[in-house]
């Protein structure tokens, strides 16, 4: 795992980071340019469909006969991003679990603030159950805000009496919209992408008068008892490091089987940079082993 690789990626990300103070429209445009510059692998097929009335991108991989389903939630601080933009990373999770992936186009703030994303996420999970998928054949996954949304969906489903999926895998989860983790400041210089200054306006867009400490907004404050096994991966060079650490502590305190996997020297959602970083592929391989071991054979 090369320091040179880490330094090269850090320099690339600092050049492409969203400018502090830019508005939502500009940030969405810049993110679309970044994601569209990374074509999908040639063996990946993307099909637009719906689950529970919510738009999703159905992702299949040539040669993989899917026996399981990954319900995937993209990142973007609940304001940016879309299902198709996350399809490359989502497909890598599906590839390693022999699963079909549904990447969810949940509604975004500020046009659709909380609880729109939470409602859409639960609707897609309920739709899988109504379509006849066994909970033991489903896992949830997500990155950044999508990681927080995956955990919130588990809590929401549990509270509504729904059977829970086999496991969840979250990458660099954005799990505390109060921005109270110490790493939001202590990792500021190390993080090439995120900062308190960049996040604060987007928190306001999403919460719009709601308490950001609500359990389904910031699952680091939720009662996590009864949840399925969790894998939480995070890099040491990100301001959301403490979101992952505290989420794992909260899960462990609730007697949930949880694995916290911290990779040193890498940035936010480093798994997305497999072409540049050996650690990305290694982390995805570990995630594939984790999920495969928990899905019904």
Structure token pair of residue 28: 């969405």
> In terms of C-beta density within 10 A (0-12 exposed, 13-18 middle, 19 or more buried), how is residue 47 classed?
exposed
Structure token pair of residue 278: 């050996």
DSSP-derived letter for residue 267 is -
Burial per residue of 4-30, b for 16 or more beta-carbon CB atoms within 10 angstroms, e otherwise: ebbeebbeebeeebbeeeeebeebbeb
∠ CA 224-230-234, rounded to 5°? 110
How many C-alpha atoms does 140 have within 13 Å on its Cβ side?
Answer: 31
Which are the contacts of 210, defined by CB distance < 8 A and separation ≥ 6? 113, 114, 217
Which residues are known catalytic residues? 144, 238, 268
Beta strand 99-104 with 138-143 is unpaired
Beta strand 167-171 with 68-73 is unpaired
Radius of gyration of the chain (CA): 17
Query: How far apart, in whole angstroms, are the C-alpha atoms of residue 8 and residue 49?
Result: 38
């Amino acid at each position: 795992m090369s320091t040179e690789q880490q330094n090269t990626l850090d320099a690339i990300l600092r050049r492409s980071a969203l400018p502090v103070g830019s508005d939502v429209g500009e940030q969405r445009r810049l993110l679309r340019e970044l994601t569209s510059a990374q074509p999908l692998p040639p063996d990946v097929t993307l099909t637009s469909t719906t689950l529970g009335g919510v738009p999703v991108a159905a992702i299949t991989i040539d040669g993989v006969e899917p026996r399981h389903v990954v319900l995937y939630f993209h990142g973007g601080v609940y304001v940016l991003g879309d299902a198709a933009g996350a399809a490359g990373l989502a497909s890598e999770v599906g590839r390693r679990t022999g699963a079909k992936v549904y990447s969810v186009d949940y509604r975004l703030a500020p046009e659709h603030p909380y609880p729109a994303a939470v409602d859409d996420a639960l609707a897609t999970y309920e739709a899988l159950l109504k379509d006849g998928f066994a909970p033991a054949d489903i896992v949830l996954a997500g990155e950044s805000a999508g990681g927080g949304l995956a955990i919130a969906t588990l809590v929401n489903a549990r509270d509504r009496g729904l059977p829970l999926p086999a496991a969840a895998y979250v990458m660099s989860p954005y799990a505390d919209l109060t921005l109270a983790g110490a790493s939001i400041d202590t990792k500021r210089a190390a993080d090439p992408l995120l900062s308190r200054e960049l996040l604060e306006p987007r928190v306001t867009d999403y919460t719009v008068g709601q308490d950001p400490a609500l359990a389904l907004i910031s699952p680091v404050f939720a009662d996590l008892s009864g949840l399925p096994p969790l894998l939480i991966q995070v890099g040491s060079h990100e301001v959301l490091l403490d979101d992952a650490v505290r989420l794992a502590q909260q899960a462990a305190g609730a007697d949930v089987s949880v694995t916290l996997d911290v990779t040193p020297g890498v940035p936010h959602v480093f798994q997305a940079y497999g072409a540049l970083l050996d650690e990305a592929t290694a982390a995805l391989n570990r995630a594939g082993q984790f999920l495969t071991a928990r899905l019904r054979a």
